[in-house]
A and B are shown apart, each in its own frame.
Chain A
Amino acid sequence: MVKKSVVFVFLILLFTVPVHASKWTINELVENADLLDGVVVTIEAEAIGEVLERGDFAWVNINDATNAIGVYVPIAEAKKIKIFGDYKHTGDTIRFSAVFHNACVEHGGEMDLHASSISIVKTGSSTDHPIDPMKVVLFGFLAFLTLGIGVYFYHTVKPKRVHGHQSEDETE
C-alpha cells in the first residue's frame, strides 16, 4: 500500500509539475504549492533587504526575478550573507535546499521555506548608477527656464495679490 502511494505521488509529480534537475523558481513553488507542500526543494536567488533576526533563527528574504519569498534559517547561516540587494547593491546569490511549506503552521499559515544551511554561490556587489550627461544638461536648461518663468510670475501675479481681499469660502 505504502509502495503504491509513493509510486502514485512520484507519477503525479512527474507528469503535472515541470521537472528540474536541481532547482525551482519561486513562481513554480507558488504555482505548485499543493503538490510541493513538505517537499525538499533547491532554490538559488538573491538575498534582499536585510536579515530579520528572531531568536536563534532569522528570516532572509530572497528574490529570483520571478518572485520573492522568505527563508527561515539558523542565525549563524544567515550571517554568512554579507551583501543584501537594494538600490545600491546587488545582493549575494544564495543556494540552499529547504522544506517548502504551503501554509506553515509555525509561522501563521505563511508560504515559506525552512533551510538548515545556505551557501553563497555569487558574492553581491555595489550597483553603479552613472549620471547621464544629458540629464545634467536638461537640468541646467530647465533650471534657467523655471527661474525665468518664476521671476515673470512673481512680478505679474504676486504684487497684485496685495489688493485682493476676497471673502473666505463658505460651504454651499
Chain B
Amino acid sequence: MVKEIKHPTLGIISYYTGYIIVGMSLFMIFPALVSTIFGEWNVVLDFLISLFISLSLGMTMVLFGRNTRLQNGKLMWKHGFVVASLSWFVLMFLCAIPYLLSGHMNSLLDATFDVMSGFTTTGVFLLQDLDHVSVGLNLWRHMLTFIGGQGMVVLALSFLVREMAGAYKFYVGEGKDVALVPNVRGTTQIIWIISLVYLVIGTIVLFINGVLIGLNPTNAFFHGLYIFMAGWSTGGFAPNLQNIMYYHSFSYEIVTIVFFVLGSMNFGLHYAIIKGKKMEFLKNIEMQSFIISSFVGSAIAAVALAKSGLYTDSISLFRRVVYNIVSANTTTGFGSIFARQFILEWGPLGMLAITIVMLIGGSACSTAGGFKGLRVGIVVKAFFADMRKLLTSERRVKIEKYHHIKDMVLDDAIVRTSSMIIFLYLLMFIGATMLGAYFGYPVVDSMFEAASISGNVGLSVGITATTMPSAMKVYYILAMYLGRLEFLSVFALIGVMAQGVKTWLKRA
C-alpha cells in the first residue's frame, strides 16, 4: 500500500510530476518497436527496462500525491514552476537509462548530459561512436529533442490528466507564454498540430531529397525523420558524426535551413500566418530582429573570412558561412564545417560574430534558445525610445509601441523583465566562459562554447568532449537547463527545496 502524502505542496508536486513521468515513459515504446522491426534485440531490452523503471516511478509518485485530485488542490505559480523543473530533472535521469545501457556512454554523467542537451534542443553530445549507434537509440535521441522543443510537461498533462485547472502555470513553467486560444489545452494542441503537420511535410521532403542524393529508401526515411526533428526543434543532432556534412548536398542544406528557420519562429507567429495574417511575418519584431542579426552576423563573418581567401565563390560562402551563422542564430547547431575550423579559420572577428548571434537566439515561445529576438528587439527599441525622449520636448508625450502579433505598448515592466532575462543569460555565459578558462581552455574557445551551451545552440569548437572536467559537464547541464526553462522554474525549485531544508532543520 502506498501512503499518500499529507503535505499539500509535496502532494501536488508528486502527483503532477508523476503523470509527466508516465507520459514521457510511454514514448519509449516507439524506439522499442522500431528496434524490434530492425532486430536490435539488445536495444529492445534496454528500452523496455527503462520503460518499466520510469512507469513504476511515475505511477508511485501519482499514488503518493493522489489526495491532490480528491481535495481539488489549488495550484499556485510555485507549483507550476516546480513541477516543470522537477519533471525535467527527474526525466533527465530516466531518459538516460537507454543511453547508459547501450554501452555508448562513458558514465551516467555523460548520459544525463546528452539527455539534457536533447530536452533543451541544444545538440551537443558526449555519446561515443555515433556512426555505429542503433536505429532505436538514434530515434530516441531525436525524439527527445523534438518533444523537448514543443514542451513535454503540458503535452503529458493534456493527455493524462482531466482536471487541468491552472495548467497555464505549467505552460509558463516550461518557458512558454503565448496563449493562442483562451485555454492551455487548446494552445498545446495547436502547437502540437502545427509541429506534427510540419513533421509529416518535412520528413517527406527530406525523404525525397535523400533518395535523390543517393540514400537508400529506408535510410532516406529515417535520416529525413531525424534531421527534420532536429532541425524543426532547433536541436542540431544528426545520426552521423559528420552532422549535415554527411550528405554532401546543397539541396539537403537548403531544405534544413528552411525548416530550422521555421522552427525558430514563435508559435504565435505560425498561428497568425495560418489565420491569414501573412504580413505578420515582416512586421513582427522578432522576425525583424532575426533578419537583422543573421544578416549582420553573416556579413561580419564573411568579412573576417575574406582575409583568408578560403571561400572564393558565393555558393561556398553561403554553404560554409551563412549556413552556420543562421544555424547559430536560430540556435539549431547543424554544422557544415568541422568544429575546429571555427577556431582555425574564422579568426577572432568571425568567432565574435557567431558567438553574438548564438547568444541572441531565436524567437520566444518557439523551440529556439538564447536571449530571444523579442527581448533583444524590446531592449533596442526602448534604448532608441529613450534617446528620442532626450532629444524632443519634455511636454511631448509619445507612447512607444512594438509589434508582436499585435501592437503592444512598450512599458517599463516589459523592458525591465526583458533586460533581467538578458542579464541572467549573460551572467551564465560569463560563468561558463570563466570555468572554461579556469580549466585551461583558451578564452575565445571558452566563450564560443559558453555561448553555444547557454543559448542552447549546439555548435562546438571541440571543448565539449567526454574528456572535459566533470565540473564543466555539471555546469553545462545546469546552463542548458536554466537557459531552456528561462531561470524562473529552476529558481522556484531551488527555493522550495531550500524552504524544505529550513523547515526540516527547524524541526530537528
Contacts and interface: CB of A to CB of B under 8 A. Distances in A.
B59 interface: yes
B488 interface: no
B389 to A, nearest CB: 33
Contacts of B336: 110
Contact residue range for chain B?
35 or more
Interface stretch (B60-68, B296-304, B412-420, B452-460): B60-68
B310 interface: yes
Contacts of B312: 105
Contact of B240 (A61, A112, A143, A157): A61
B242 A129 contact: no
Interface stretch (B211-219, B263-271, B273-281): B211-219
Contact of A108 (B41, B182, B250): B250
B370 to A, nearest CB: 25
Contacts of A129: 40-42
Given A61-B246, A138-B49, A111 B40 contact: no
B257 interface: no
Q: Which of B101, B187, B245 has the most CB of A within 10 A?
A: B245
B342 to A, nearest CB: 11
A131 B43 CA distance: 9
Interface string A120-135: 0000000101111001
Interface string A53-92: 1100011010100011110000000000000011110100
B312 to A, nearest CB: 7
A160 B132 contact: no
Contact of B132 (A86, A105, A132, A169): A86
A4 interface: no
Nearest to B154: A169
A81 B132 CA distance: 17
B394 interface: no
A63 B334 CA distance: 19
A52 B247 CA distance: 8
A118 to B, nearest CB: 17
A171 B131 contact: no
B248 A110 contact: yes
Interface of A is mostly: mixed
Given A86-B131, A150-B55, A168 B185 contact: yes
A58 B49 contact: no
Interface stretch (B158-166, B224-232, B380-388): B158-166
A172 to B, nearest CB: 5
A80 to B, nearest CB: 17
Q: Which of A85, A90, A142 has the most CB of B within 10 A?
A: A142
A160 B69 contact: yes
B41 A131 contact: yes
B250 A87 contact: no
B184 A171 contact: yes
Given A49-B131, A50-B216, A169 B167 contact: yes
B315 interface: yes
A164 to B, nearest CB: 6
Nearest to B253: A108
Contact of B313 (A31, A105, A111, A138): A105
Contacts of B338: 30, 67, 111
A50 B242 contact: no
B48 interface: yes
Contacts of B41: 129, 131
Interface residues of A, number: 62
Interface in B130-176: 131-135, 162-169
A99 interface: no
Given A111-B337, A152-B2, A169-B167, A69 B183 contact: no
A167 interface: yes
B182 A171 contact: yes
A108 to B, nearest CB: 4
Nearest to B246: A61
B168 A170 contact: yes
B107 interface: no
A169 to B, nearest CB: 4
A171 B183 contact: yes
Contacts of A88: 40
A161 B162 contact: yes
Contacts of B214: 50-54, 58-59
B179 interface: yes
A52 B242 contact: no
Given A156-B66, A166-B164, A145 B56 contact: yes
Nearest to A102: B310
A91 to B, nearest CB: 9
B283 interface: no
A68 B241 contact: yes
B132 A87 contact: yes
Contacts of B245: 70, 110
A79 B153 CA distance: 49
Nearest to B45: A135
A80 B344 CA distance: 35
Interface of B: 2, 40-42, 45-46, 48-49, 52-53, 55-56, 59-60, 62-63, 66, 69-70, 72, 101, 131-135, 162-169, 179, 182-185, 187, 213-216, 219, 240-242, 245-248, 250, 310-313, 315-317, 319-320, 336-338, 340-341, 344-345
Interface of A: 30-31, 33-34, 48-54, 58-59, 61, 63, 67-70, 85-88, 90, 102-103, 105, 107-112, 127, 129-132, 135-136, 138-139, 142-143, 145-146, 149-150, 152-153, 156-157, 160-161, 164, 166-172
Given A86-B132, A109-B316, A156-B66, 8 more contacts: A49-B246, A50-B219, A88-B40, A129-B42, A135-B46, A142-B49, A153-B63, A169-B183
28 contacts: A30-B338, A34-B345, A50-B214, A54-B213, A54-B214, A58-B214, A59-B248, A68-B241, A68-B242, A69-B242, A70-B248, A85-B132, A90-B132, A103-B310, A103-B320, A105-B313, A109-B316, A110-B248, A111-B338, A129-B41, A135-B42, A139-B49, A146-B56, A149-B59, A149-B63, A164-B163, A171-B168, A172-B168
4 smallest beta-carbon distances between A and B, as pairs: A109-B316, A166-B163, A52-B214, A142-B52
